């Protein structure tokens, strides 16, 4: 699993939650999806809303990005590289813009 999703304290709490080989009946709330939207848009069915969720297939986690009725599934390692590359492209575009105006 990607290191950005690892939380040692949560993992320790989960291990503490096992009693005698059986899970205790503690109840947890775990966020597995977010809606990205403008304040004026409805996060559930707004046209400009993008949903980001964590999914699992055969023990392998991946991120699902959904917008306008379409989705893309990205494994965690590829997502980290895509984010890093996108940040670099944004910085280069901002630098190019500043160079032209300054």
pLDDT digits over 48-90, tens only?
899 999 999 888 889 999 999 999 999 999 999 999 999 999 9
- Averaged pLDDT for residues 88-99: 88
Rounded distance, CA 102 to CA 95, Å?
Answer: 10
Q: By three-state DSSP, how is residue 1 classified? A: coil
How many Å apart are CA 51 and CA 41, to the nearest integer? 13
Digit-coded pLDDT (tens) for 19-40:
556 667 888 899 999 999 999 9
Instruction: Yes or no: say if 19 and 26 are a contact pair by the CB < 8 Å rule.
Output: no
Supply the pLDDT for residue 101.
73
């Amino acid at each position: 699993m990607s290191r950005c999703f690892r939380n040692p304290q949560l993992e320790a709490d989960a291990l503490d939650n096992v009693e005698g080989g059986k899970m205790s009946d503690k109840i947890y709330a775990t966020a597995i999806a977010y809606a990205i939207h403008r304040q004026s848009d409805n996060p559930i069915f707004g046209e400009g809303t993008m949903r980001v969720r964590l999914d699992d297939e055969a023990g392998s986690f991946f991120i699902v990005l959904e917008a306008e009725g379409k989705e893309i599934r990205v494994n965690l390692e590829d997502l980290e590289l895509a984010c890093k590359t996108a940040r670099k492209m944004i910085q280069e575009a901002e630098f190019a813009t500043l160079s032209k105006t300054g």
